[in-house]
Structure 1
Amino acid sequence: MKILAKSVAVAAIAMSVTGVAEARIQTIGDATADGSELLLNVVNYTAQNSYTLDLGVTIAQFLANPSQSLSFSLSDANFQSFTSAYTAGDNVTWGVSGGHGLLNEESDLPIYGFYTTSVDSNPLNFAQNGLQISTSMSEWNDMVGFVQTQDSNANNLSTFKTVGEQGYTAVPYGNNFNGTLQFVAQGQLGAALAFVHEKINAEDGTFDTGELEIFANVWKLDLAGGSLTYSAATSAVPLPGAVWMFGAALMGMLGVNRRKAISA
């Protein structure tokens, strides 16, 4: 099914009336050329509260250099409320997500779609077509509509919500956006999360078949240190062979000296 004859924008968001003029984070549903802004979502299932932060980075800004390193300081009052309610061992999950909903021309295909963290660095199951991708983006838009993290796109504000409050993101969005994702997007504290893009395959001629793009960098959240980073994955640096040989020889010498001491 070809879908380039019109702009494919996900469902519009109905904003709640609070009595105060309030806009919201730039969303996928806006169908703008720069896409939505990225959103951090952290949920404490034990304490039953959640924290969100508009990162102020649009999809277009991210894609200008997908291998760039990003760093965000978490120190606002809502973050302090979240960490004050946290106790070591609590079941906490977190993730970063956003999307691009404009699909007017074939040139839009490489950037259109849903962008999200993933616990699995290479999920085998993902959206198989445009409708599934759009469904995930609609769920994200719905969540953002209830979160309402800012009063203008220039501000990057946050929320702290508890169970029962509008904008508490554990219900119903959970760790896979209410089941619309076929993999787990939000990971536990201490995990390095992959960043992936559910997109449309531009080569099959239907402009509807889904495929997955995996970015090289990973996201890391340091709750205690109050920081969120997007950077290259790091692995343990192997020790040179000479170091291992020296260590083995040293242990051997210590063993010989110990036997001599015992026999004496």
Structure 2
Amino acid sequence: MKLSKKLLAVAVLAAAASGAAEARIQAIGDATADGSEFLFNLVNYTAQNSYTLDLGITVEQFLANPSQPLSFTLSDNNFQSFAAAYTAGNNVAWGVSGGHGVLNELTDLAKFGFYTTSVVPSPSSIDANAPDISNTMGKWNDLVSYIQTQDANSNNLSTFKTVGQQGYTAVYGNDFQTALPFTAQGQLGTALSFVRERANADDFDTGELVTFPGVWNFAINGNVGSLTYTAAPAAVPLPAAVWMFGAGLMGVLRATRRKSLAV
């Protein structure tokens, strides 16, 4: 028997109220107020294996301060397995993604949408409307359903999968099986922007893009991985004294030029 969405939401809330532990990472479709937790996904297309890590940060927690720097050191046994099969020059792609799938009230618009890394800061093509955004999030939910990484919100576990195993994330490509109209995952050594596809407040439907102030970076050093999110430094305005000095200098140069011409 297939549960309706309403019954499913009730079941999830009941489990949360009873203190029952989740059997996986919190999915976008769980109808929770804080959204999903972000997921790090790493694929070695050459060695045909993949690694995932539940970062333990929900959409709501991220939105509280999108400029806050984040840092993760990857050295667990699953990453050791990934690193052991990695050779410099392998075709490796990585990215971070998550989302908030509830869109019932106007207040939901503050969080609703798909959050993902992007190879370019402002993709020229994005999901056109809320159903398309939800379709992309559905692909993310499919991916998450096969990686049993979460048994409690505070226990941020990982997976290592090889080709042919359920949870091998390479099958979703770098654009969630083309559901996302831009490239979300980038190669090693590439800094990735972080963006959000959301619905327009005017019609509750039209797709819009938000670009966050930080960039994600990932590196493999031996058998340890380093994942960071760092906000780009804000432009520092020049002190007023500098502008006054510049204006004064230009005045002196003009006066000198007029004197030279007069002579």
The CA deviation at 1:22 is: 6.9
Whole-angstrom CA distance in 2 between matches of 1:23 and 1:152: 8
Whole-angstrom CA distance in 2 between matches of 1:185 and 1:150: 23
CA contact (8 A) 1:24 1:153 kept: no
Q: How many residues align?
A: 217
Letter in 2 for 1:191: T
202, 215, 218: which one pairs with 2:212? 215
- Is the aligned partner of 1:24 residue 2:43? no
CA contact (8 A) 1:49 1:160 kept: yes
SS of corresponding position for 2:150: coil
Letter in 2 for 1:62: F
Letter in 2 for 1:192: A
CA 1:35–1:22 in structure 2 vs 1: closer, same or farther (change >3 Å)?
Answer: closer
Deviation per residue, 1:220-247 (Å, 9 max, x gap): 001115210000247xxxxxxxxxxxxx
CA 1:32–1:22 in structure 2 vs 1: closer, same or farther (change >3 Å)?
Answer: closer
Structure with greater helix share of residues: 2
The CA deviation at 1:91 is: 0.1
2:229 is matched with: 230
Whole-angstrom CA distance in 2 between matches of 1:138 and 1:105: 20
For structure 2, which runs of at least 5 residues remain unmatched after alignment? 10-20, 234-263
2:41 is matched with: 41
CA contact (8 A) 2:24 2:148 kept: yes
1:98 is matched with: 98
- Is the aligned partner of 1:78 residue 2:78? yes
Superposition map of 1:58-207 within 5 A = 58-171=58-171, 173-202=172-201, 204=202, 206-207=203-204
CA 1:105–1:22 in structure 2 vs 1: closer, same or farther (change >3 Å)?
Answer: closer
Whole-angstrom CA distance in 2 between matches of 1:111 and 1:66: 12
Whole-angstrom CA distance in 1 between matches of 2:36 and 2:144: 11
Task: Return the TM-score normalized by structure 1.
Answer: 0.79
SS of corresponding position for 1:132: helix
- Once superposed, what is the RMSD of the aligned Cα atoms? 2.1
Whole-angstrom CA distance in 2 between matches of 1:145 and 1:138: 10
CA 1:60–1:22 in structure 2 vs 1: closer, same or farther (change >3 Å)?
Answer: closer
Whole-angstrom CA distance in 1 between matches of 2:72 and 2:22: 24
Q: What is the aligned-residue identity percentage?
A: 68
The CA deviation at 1:104 is: 2.2
Letter in 1 for 2:36: S
Whole-angstrom CA distance in 1 between matches of 2:22 and 2:116: 26
Whole-angstrom CA distance in 2 between matches of 1:222 and 1:89: 13
SS of corresponding position for 1:109: helix
CA contact (8 A) 2:26 2:150 kept: no
Task: Return the TM-score normalized by structure 2.
Answer: 0.79
SS of corresponding position for 2:152: coil
Whole-angstrom CA distance in 2 between matches of 1:226 and 1:85: 14
1:244 is matched with: none
Whole-angstrom CA distance in 1 between matches of 2:194 and 2:31: 21
